[in-house]
Amino acid sequence: MAHGLKTGGRQVGTPNKNLTALRDRLASNYPDYDPLIALAEIALDQSNDLSVRIDCHKTIAAYVHPKMRTSAPVEQMDSNIVINIVNPHDGH
């Protein structure tokens, strides 16, 4: 097995022929079809079950908004926080 060298198969960036053929067939048979638009229409149709609508919204959200990354835990501070409350009328 070669280490770090591509020795066969498709060139990097070459589109998958099956996927390209499927996209071409969809475009020729359904020229105005867009799956995200179809999902949005289902999601906004009040006659659909709520669970179906929520699933559509989740699917669309993955393409519209980036997934939130998990953040590193915040370190605990060793010192205490002191809050002084001052009465503005007498200064104490």
Domain ranges of the chain: 17-64
pLDDT of residue 14: 82
The 10s digit of each residue's pLDDT in 16-69 is 889 999 999 999 999 999 999 999 999 999 999 999 999 999 999 999 988 888
The 10s digit of each residue's pLDDT in 60-79 is 999 998 888 887 777 777 77
CA distances from 21 to 11, 16, 24, 89 (A): 18, 9, 5, 79
pLDDT of residue 36: 94
Q: At a CB cut-off of 8 Å and minimum separation 6, what does 46 contact?
A: none
Question: pTM for this structure?
Answer: 0.54
